Structure 1
Amino acid sequence: MIRTLLPALLLASPALAEVPKVVTDIAPVQGLVASVMGDLGTPGLLIPAGASPHSHALKPSEARALQQADLIFWIGPELSPDLARKIDAIAAEGTAVALFDLPGTRHLAARSDVLFAEPGAEEGHDHGAHEDHDDHDHEDHDAEGHHHEGGDPHAWLSLDNAATWLTAITATLSEADPENAPAYAANAEAAQARLAEARATAEATLAPVKDQRFVVFHDAFQYYEDTFGLTVLGAISLSDATTPSPARLDALRDALEGAGAACVFAEPQFDPRLIAAVTEGAGTPVAELDPLGAKLEPGPGFYPALIEDMAQRIATCAAQ
């Protein structure tokens, strides 16, 4: 059974003599943890840039880092089922904190429709399909057979979630390493301020394209859509675990023709030929939009840079 301890439960744990060894699952989580740790240490990354967290199998070096870790910050099994098995099997001495399970985390239901917003609908129609969840007692299945237990796991693209997680990460590190608690607190305060700046910058960047519609490669962006009031017509694939059916591609192609989507967004992890199958003959601009920020510089500034970079890519493509 995976040991997922909330920060308050760590009060009973003995303090470590040194800064804890920390690993994270994906780059956005690593960036949040790095912003709290600051100069005290660098959290390891178990799922490298360019790899899919849904399907990545740990390499021997990554498995060793997990085995040696004192603290493991990850989204949870909803995003990385293989990592869940590895934590249970080899991380005997570490404490795993599943951020998706933390109190205060905002959850959106996984979407199953071919189109999230009908081409002829009024602005904001698709946001009515969003649903907040504060529990995990359900499963959401898409039309192509894949499912996410507990809703859409791409929750790091909610800035409200990022702020909540920064607080939890700080508490967890402080309980494990009380000697450096003041430094963690100061770093977290600066990180929260930078997060607020990133939100304001992204809002200003995206303001001119709020009335535009987009198509994405896979349904990883609805937390970002919800945060900034964007409208995504649909996704080529509802998850990267499935290949979209010809009927799905036909529906999206028709949506592009009927709605005049401003841009179709590819992701670096996936086959570009599927993008070509949807956009052929439509003349719709194509740009890259990566929810994991594979091309960004890792470190404490990674997460706000990801939020701002995504906003700039969306606005630039929509302006073509």
Structure 2
Amino acid sequence: MTRTATALFASAAFFAAGTMAATTAAAAPDVVVSIKPIHSLVAAVMQGVGEPKLIVDGAASPHTFTMKPSNARTIEGADVVFWIGPNLEAFLDKPLDALAGKATVVALGDVAGVETLPFREGGPFEAHDHGDDDHDHGAETHDDHDHADHGHADHGHDHGAEKPAEQEAHSDHDHDHKGHDHAAEADAHHDHDHGGFDAHLWLDPENAKAMAKAIEAQLVAADPANVAVYTKNTVALLKRIDAMNDDIAKTIAPVKNKPFIVFHDAYQYFEHHYGVTVAGSVTVSPETAPGAERLKEIQAKINSLGATCVFAEPQFTPKLINVVTEGTKAKSGVLDPEGATLKAGPDLYFELMTGIAASLSDCLGRDS
């Protein structure tokens, strides 16, 4: 073979390899995720294969989010959609039926290994007494990655006939999601209204690990060519979550018994897992402003407990926090349970969780 022919052959082989690589990349599933904390877990599992798309981006909150036409187009093109479920992202419930006809829709609130806690209708004021219960799992680690635990039969979603997004957003129709009982949700628009489980699941690292395994299983089913990458990434993700869990437990250990008050009752999983002392919430539902009676109740609670801190959230006005702390010795801080101030991506989940721990440690650890 002449030098020219050899060069031409090498060029052709290089072009073919490049074409094959491009084809492989193009074949990666089109994955859509509802909110930042879950998007972070999906992005971590997909690293090196593709990047998932995010619906509730920027500083938006799933509690107040309104679908845009661009969101509808994103859902229409999806192969896989991950969300917590209608308990949190109520705005997605009907659009998923109307628009995600070809997609596999995975409600992570339903997957194996996720522990759900019932919604506390009155917030933590009526909740259990922490006392000497055994909620502190901070020292637990689970390095074993058991693929046999990945069976999730409810990944399907019954979409029915597709309708335009604009029509669907304003129509009422009956539908059935696998794994969800909507009978009690007919007149509801949010998890705080229909008494379902508390949907802030990711604030317990063990739930995050269970969701990561379910995410891996679904991605492998959708894209078996990249199973090795998904598996490697998931193993690394689980180990990183365990290391983060240990760090958080150490960070909050000195302040875990100091009572504090939060903007809304979003921290039950963090409270349950780490044994921190959430004494109350300013509002049960973030869309509903508390009345004067509740504000007075919270002020009284702060004074009676000597509650050291009241925490706002970045998506919502801090005015109510200023009202309830007025005339008390309580300090104020900010907790960001949904990552509103954080950049979306594989690191967000860890920044979110360690950020909560750091805020608690900083505010609760301050001298009066």
TM-score (ref. length: structure 2)? 0.75
| Greater Rg over alpha carbons, structure | 2
Tell me how far 1:291 sits from its aligned partner.
0.4
- Give the distance between the partners of 2:124 and 2:241, measured in 1 at CA: 31
Between 93-102 and 106-115, report the one with greater CA deviation.
Answer: 106-115
The equivalent of 1:189 in structure 2 is 235
- Give the distance between the partners of 1:117 and 1:161, measured in 2 at CA: 24
- Give the distance between the partners of 1:146 and 1:110, measured in 2 at CA: 7
Taking a change above 3 Å as real, the CA distance of residues 56 and 312 of structure 1, as seen in their structure-2 partners, is same
The equivalent of 1:213 in structure 2 is 259
- Give the distance between the partners of 2:330 and 2:133, measured in 1 at CA: 22
User: 1:35-71 CA distances to partner (integer Å, 9 max, x unpaired)?
Assistant: 1001211111101132120231112222211111111
Amino acid at match of 2:261: V
The equivalent of 2:104 in structure 1 is 95
Taking a change above 3 Å as real, the CA distance of residues 163 and 274 of structure 1, as seen in their structure-2 partners, is same
The equivalent of 1:75 in structure 2 is 84
Query: How many residues of Structure 1 are paired with residues of Structure 2 in the alignment?
Result: 294
The equivalent of 2:302 in structure 1 is 256
Amino acid at match of 2:265: D
Amino acid at match of 1:305: E
Tell me how far 1:146 sits from its aligned partner.
4.4
Q: Could you tell me which of 321, 324, 338 is aligned with 1:292?
A: 338
1:1-320 aligned at under 5 Å gives the runs 18-113=27-122, 115-116=124-125, 123=131, 146-320=192-366
Between 84-93 and 183-192, report the one with greater CA deviation.
Answer: 84-93
Unaligned 5+ runs, structure 1: 1-15, 128-134
Amino acid at match of 1:38: Q
Amino acid at match of 2:364: A
- Give the distance between the partners of 2:102 and 2:130, measured in 1 at CA: 53
Amino acid at match of 1:107: T
- Give the distance between the partners of 1:148 and 1:50, measured in 2 at CA: 25
- Give the distance between the partners of 2:126 and 2:364, measured in 1 at CA: 18
- Give the distance between the partners of 2:335 and 2:192, measured in 1 at CA: 22
Contact 1:219 1:238 in 2 (8 A): yes
User: 1:184-221 CA distances to partner (integer Å, 9 max, x unpaired)?
Assistant: 00000000000001100100000000110010000111
Contact 1:218 1:239 in 2 (8 A): yes
Tell me how far 1:279 sits from its aligned partner.
0.6
- Give the distance between the partners of 2:86 and 2:123, measured in 1 at CA: 25
Tell me how far 1:116 sits from its aligned partner.
2.6
Contact 1:123 1:211 in 2 (8 A): no
Q: Secondary structure in 1 aligned to 2:234?
A: helix
Between 164-173 and 52-61, report the one with greater CA deviation.
Answer: 52-61
Taking a change above 3 Å as real, the CA distance of residues 126 and 257 of structure 1, as seen in their structure-2 partners, is farther
User: 1:83-120 CA distances to partner (integer Å, 9 max, x unpaired)?
Assistant: 1111111111111100001122111111123653689x
Amino acid at match of 1:75: I
- Give the distance between the partners of 1:180 and 1:30, measured in 2 at CA: 19
